[in-house]
Structure formats: structure tokens, C-alpha cells
Amino acid sequence: MNTYWSRLKLIFGLSLILGQFAVIREVHAYTYYITLPNNNKIVWPTKSLQYHVANGSFPSGSASRTALTNVLGRWNESPGDFTFLTPIWDNGTVGIENEESEIWITTGPCVGALHVGTIEWNGSSAKWIESDVIFSAFPFWKNPSIPWSMNSDIQTNMKVYGGPAEMWEPAALHEIGHALGLAHTNNTYNALGAHFNHVQVNCGRIRSYVGEDAGNGSVFLYGPTNVFFNYDLGVTHWKYAEPSGAYSAHSLTQIFTSGGGTVISSDAFEGVRRYYVQAGTTYKVQFTYENNGLWPESGFTREGTFKLKDPGLDNHLPENWITSSYMLVLNTTRIDKLNQFIVYPNPSTGPLTIQVTDFINKYAEIYNIMGQNLGRIRLNESGTTNIDLSQYKSGLLIIKIGSVHKKIIISGF
């Protein structure tokens, strides 16, 4: 019997190449790839993956190798039944579509971190056959003055806390999430959203982590492991803020008066807001509590989060917590940011409309996936600009206005 498999690439975890694939958004806080029209999820045929990792990029004893080992270990700790095997530290050449799943760092022009997945598809179902994760030597390839912080976990070194470096581990954790088959998520605080502030901090040290929602996604795709660690509650001072395109944007948690009013933060300390409060006055303090996806499913509604029953109770004891809705606990007021814009349709055969919220920047810059600037487009003051990029067939492009990037797919049919 003949079965034909076509080979397609899914880049960045983005979807919809040739119209046969889609990202499905669930009420749960994860997204994944499906084949149309049957809605089959795209998974690996075996529940494990062994990367070939470029020795030159991740030499023995280096910070980068320690960091990568940490990241693969974090996913192995998550409750989905999928294992990243100890990598083969490889001196061979690397490349996409070479039948080998590989991880490497390039000094060439490249966006900060990139996942290129290759699938085989037989017309109704598809499977992953290759995963390549490529890191630029710098998180922002156009600004080499900002370095990656590999496995240094010092809070004050990190850009989100006022330091000089961008964290590599959360970025790698995000890309490995794509390797499992998870797509971007924009409706919760999520590792598959904005990764650079999806971290836990304790006593000045940072830890990257998968988190509850991406962990649930791994269970959805591969079933649960048999190992459950019930008391794995994670606490962080980052929270869901708003959708930012396909990503969730995160912001710092806040302090409120007992009546729910805003308490103004007066200054920052190590990148974190500092509040001056009156002695003897009661305040409400936000945290994000997650079970990292390992808590047994029964008894918890997926859209819930944890809340202490009473601020006076001991927060070490599980019986003092109740679940509560995200909307109640997290202040989800949406504020349009400067430079926000939308591009549609995406994917497109070429014609695109760019719509900006505020006419702050006169130009949109177009980049290809290698980070080469393909040109700039003058934006109309009306806020709506129509362009045609059909000359860049079958490609992934990046449109940048001010500091905001959007990825778009130009499909070649």
C-alpha cells in the first residue's frame, strides 16, 4: 500500500502553512497544532526525543551546556509523558531538514531564538519528524550590546530586573515547548507566551519553569506521567497582563488596599516595585500561584487560580487555600500600548493591511527570517496601510513598527 508523506516546516511554532494546518485554541490555556479537516493533533510518534547538540555551541563544562541540560530537565519534570533524552553532543554539521533534530547557536543574523519543526503528513494525519532549535548568539541580533545570560541565575543581572542581560533559559524553555507541539498562548501567564518574564525569583535567584498551563498542554498531547508531586506549588510575582498578538504579555503583581484600591508604588528596588505601607493597615497582595501542572486534575477548575481564604491564615497549609477565577484575582485591565498594531490576513498570499493604534512611527520595517531588512513601508496617517508582499512567496516575514514585532506568513499558493 502506498502512503505518501509530504514534508512541511512549521517555523516559530507558527501555523497554517498551505492551509492544511491550524493552531487550535482551547478553553484550557495551551494551544497546539492540528491537521485539517480532521482536527488530529500533531505529535511525535514516540514519546521521546534525543537532540544532537552542537558541541561548539554547548561545549563540555560550559554555562551554555548546563543551561540547556536544565531546560530539558524542566520539561522532563513536567507532567506530560514525554522525555527529552540526554543529548548527543555532536561535532557534525547542523541544518534544518537533515533528518536530525538539532540545537545550535549561530553568530549569523538570526532572530533571538527560533524553532523549526518538520512534519510528515499523509493527507489526514501528521507527525513531527524533526525539530531544530536555533539561537542567535545575541537575544537581539541587531543589538549585540545585550548579551544572553546563560545559566547565571542572579536576579539583578537580568534585563527584566534592570540588569544588562536577557535570560536564555526561559527562551530555550519556550522553544522546547514548540518542539513538543505546543503553540503560542495569549490568554494566561504562560511559558509559551512572553518567556522573558515567566520566571520564579527567590532570595535574588531566578529559576525558569514550565508552569501549570504549558504543563497541562504536555499532558494533553502525550498523556500524564505516572509520577505526581502533589505539593509543587509555585509562587511568582509575575502575572498575566494582556494578549500581545499570539503571546501573553506579563506584568508584575501589585498591592491593593483592603477595599481593592490601588496603592501607588513609590520607587523600584532591583527592578521590582516598592510600596510604602502604613503600619497596622491591612493590604491585599497579589501573587501568581501555580501547581506547575503536577497537581491531580480532580477538584480544580482549569480557569482557576489559588487564593488564600483569609490573609490572617497560614499560607503553608493547603486547607487554607481556595481556587478562584483568574479575572477576580488578576487585574486584567487592558491598556493599549504604544506602537501596537495588527496585520491581517495572516497567513496571506501577499496583500496585507497594517492597522496602527497610534500614528507614532511613520514607517514599518520588513525583515526576513534571517534578520535581513527587506525595506520600509511608509504608513498612512489614517492608521490603515495596504501593502503587497506577494514577491516573498512561501516565507515567514517580520513586520516591525517601533519596538513591536509581528510575524507573518506569506503562503505561495
Q: Which residues are at the interface with Zn ion (CB under 5 A)?
A: 13
319 CA to centre of own chain: 32
Residue 183 or 201: the one with the smaller Cβ distance to Zn ion is 183
Residue 13 or 80: the one with the smaller Cβ distance to Zn ion is 13
CB of 171 to Zn ion, least distance (A): 9
Convert 186-202 to b/e letters by CB count within 10 Å (16 or more is b): bbbbbbbbbbbbbbbbe
What's the DSSP call for residue 79?
S
Taken as a whole, the chain contains a residue count of 413
Cell of 295: 497537581
What's the DSSP call for residue 357?
S
Packing angle between helix 168-180 and helix 63-77, nearest 10 degrees? 50
Shortest CA distance to 412 belongs to which of 97, 116, 17? 17
CB of 186 to Zn ion, least distance (A): 11
- Greatest alpha-carbon pair distance for the chain in Å reads 78
Residue 11 or 68: the one with the smaller Cβ distance to Zn ion is 11
CB of 201 to Zn ion, least distance (A): 23
Quick one: 247 exposed, middle or buried, by C-beta within 10 A (0-12, 13-18, 19+)? middle
Residue 13 or 87: the one with the smaller Cβ distance to Zn ion is 13
Rounded Cα distance between 140 and 400, Å, is 13
Residue 237 or 407: the one with the smaller Cβ distance to Zn ion is 407
CB of 411 to Zn ion, least distance (A): 19
CB of 307 to Zn ion, least distance (A): 30
* Helix, coil or strand: residue 113: strand
Per DSSP (E only), the strands in 123-204 are 126-136, 148-149, 166-167, 182-183, 199-202
Residue 245 or 271: the one with the smaller Cβ distance to Zn ion is 245
Shortest CA distance to 358 belongs to which of 381, 387, 386? 381
CB of 351 to Zn ion, least distance (A): 26
Residue with the CB atom nearest Zn ion in the bound state: 13
Residue 13 or 181: the one with the smaller Cβ distance to Zn ion is 13
CB of 194 to Zn ion, least distance (A): 10
